[in-house]
Structure 1
């Protein structure tokens, strides 16, 4: 099976889940050709994996003008009806206003380059990650080239502006949709015609638990870890505010921030203003191997986000046996079970965040119990080998015209500890 993968920028340091999915499909014998709208910057080349993927990826931008013209001309002459239908589709799904129309022209031109490449390489199917702009390119390319396409529905950003990005039309035209959580699937179902619901499948982003050594838990905990893009949606100011109160009882508490982004300078300034410069260390982007090393040097992983899908870094922390404290948003509760393998807190609440971190810092046995349960959860429900095998089977059956039935994934019954009970165990 020869397929294409498309996203807006590939490979990025923050999108390792796509790289793992591509690699695992190739290990299963699938001939995967990777395409990206834009070329990835050097700041994302944090490891050998990224460098190898960038070298083998086809980048649509910047286009060679002659190749751009020839691609569209050949598609028009070979498939005039399809080409005109693609123009109609681009017009009908354009975002409002002059700016929206201008960007739709860009997407259409990019789609022509992509469609030509896919036809030349005799690729049978196109799969897209991140359904906003690159999803539009994928939809138009499929219409222009006459091949099938599918996409993975992540969220959260597509759910902020679903009408603008015509999520309804993208679902309707797709061969199938992979949803990373039940939450994502439910949001997509709002815009999907009911006859397409059975084509919307839960395929988790996953990791390989075997890559992660389980940490040993010290009696005294003081080391916190955050990994992610430094942007407003990650809620890092809330985490910093919680550190101010935690430092009163844990003066040596430390937070390592792995990642980079547009808010880094502002966050470093806030850290200094709060008097936390000795407690917080910003280390920038790191390779996958380096991130695994950081898990071995931490007591608690903290996620303070306002908007997420199901963060892969949470899966990684849990695979390493690190207890987690995360915000109860979107599909996070499908991974982190409150009182079983971590704590869930209201987003934007530094008091609750600090209280739950405090419970774990003070109880190394509870940290170990949560770590063991977290590892088991990831091995069972978020193992990349299992999830990609399901994706592979779904692609094969869908391309053969079969509809794979939806199989509900109900969690096994768990014994939940209340926070009062966990506090009691620490006395």
Structure 2
């Protein structure tokens, strides 16, 4: 099968969507399929020649609005030429805008089915753009509308599947998490990373991996872990990742007088990231905005119990009292610190860790890729009659293409107008 994946974020950018796309792409190639990834240009260490060969880069504006993200510019003719030569059997969009819109148009023009992965609850990221409050409604409506223009939707977790169906997605939805390399995480050399970070062999290490950003509930996490460190003078907190929340994180630890035990490792990828996970003993995660607890599954593969808040994407992985502790979303920082204390007890920690490793096997990358390929086949079969009609009747195809363009323009215009002017209209009408 020839699979074209279109995404607004990709390696060397470090993030959940980029890692998800690269994981699936690598597995598809291993299974004998051809993959073309269309993505913007990003700063960072270039990919290996073999990995970059399957990527078509499009020009982009770097560091959009002061963030780490790139926004693609109008597509170059070279992309059209490569897509023509590639002759995709299916288009897989990973965002509902920018290259997502392009994916819809290409699927229509090439007469192939399109699948969309709803990776993110976009309303949790509106603080990166102007008019954040008005954008929240847009961030809910645009992905929903986009999903209904696609042939199939992949949800990374049952939680997200329920959310998007409740919001009005009627397109067939399949739950498929991003897979992880279970064996690689389990066999990584954590001792080497501890030596690099000057962490004593016998020290208890609470760990966290992720972007240091407001949507990750870092203020709560920092307060919780700092309280725990005050109770255990030998413990450390190892943080892998970077972002705009770094200064606030360090300030919290300074306020509690435990700055010397906060270890900031920065961004890590590949083998070094796996070693960082294995250097930890307990994984702490407080985000309430996840679509899939990918880092939680990776932590479990590395042999760690997890302490987390009960939230979407996480509750599918963490089973309270079995492979970690899942606290209510309303839990206090003191409650979270107390759960970390329970995990600090060796007998409890080892029992939870064994169950955590067993759980991680349910999220292997091979199994996830197999399920995604099955879904592609389902969508190709389900759309075969419609595609044949398009092939035999170009006029019908033209009418539907014009309908797609009108649908994109009119629906998004209405959504923006409702978000920006909705409150004023209600006041004027006395609602």
Normalising by the smaller structure, the TM-score range is 0.7 to 0.9
The 3-state SS of whatever aligns with 1:9 is coil
Give the TM-score, by structure 2 length.
0.73
CA contact (8 A) 2:121 2:290 kept: yes
Structure 1 length-normalised TM: 0.74
Structure 1 position 21, deviation (Å): 1.0
Q: Which residue of 1 aligns with 2:55?
A: 57
2:122–2:140 CA contact under 8 A, matched in 1: no
Unaligned runs of 5+ in 2: 62-70, 125-135, 192-199, 385-431
Within-5 A mapping of 1:9-408: 9-11=9-11, 12-14=13-15, 15-36=18-39, 38-42=40-44, 45=45, 52-54=50-52, 56-62=54-60, 109-110=74-75, 117-157=82-122, 161=137, 166-192=142-168, 194=170, 196=171, 199-213=172-186, 222-347=204-329, 349-361=332-344, 363-379=345-361, 381-401=362-382
What does the per-residue CA deviation read over 1:64-118, in whole Å, with 9 as the maximum and x for residues that have no partner? xxxxxxxxxxxxxxxxxxxxxxxxxxxxxxxxxxxxxxxxxx9894498755542
Q: Secondary structure at the match of 2:260?
A: coil
Gaps of 5+ in 1: 64-105, 404-427
Structure 2 Cα separation of the partners of residues 239 and 209 of structure 1: 26
Paired with 1:119 and 1:177, the residues of 2 have a C-alpha distance of 25
Deviations, residues 102-139 of structure 1 (Å, cap 9, x unaligned): xxxx9894498755542342122210223344323322
Cα distance in 2 for residues equivalent to 1:393 and 1:18: 17
Give the secondary structure class of the aligned counterpart of 1:204. coil
Q: Tell me whether 344-353 or 365-374 shows the greater mean CA deviation.
A: 344-353
**Once superposed, which parts of structure 1, at least 4 consecutive aligned residues long, lie more than 6 Å away?**
214-221
**1:306-351, Cα deviation, whole Å (9 max, x unpaired):** 3111221111110121111112111211111111111112347311
Distance apart, 1:296 and its partner CA: 2.3
- C-alpha contact 1:40 1:54 (8 A) present in aligned 2: no
Q: Is the contact made by 1:206 and 1:387 (CA closer than 8 Å) also made in structure 2?
A: yes
Aligned residues: 351
SS at match of 1:325: strand
Over the aligned positions, Cα root-mean-square deviation in angstroms equals 3.0
Once the two structures are TM-superposed, the CA of residue 161 in structure 1 deviates from its matched residue by 4.2
Instruction: Please state whether the residue corresponding to 1:151 is helix, strand or coil.
Output: strand
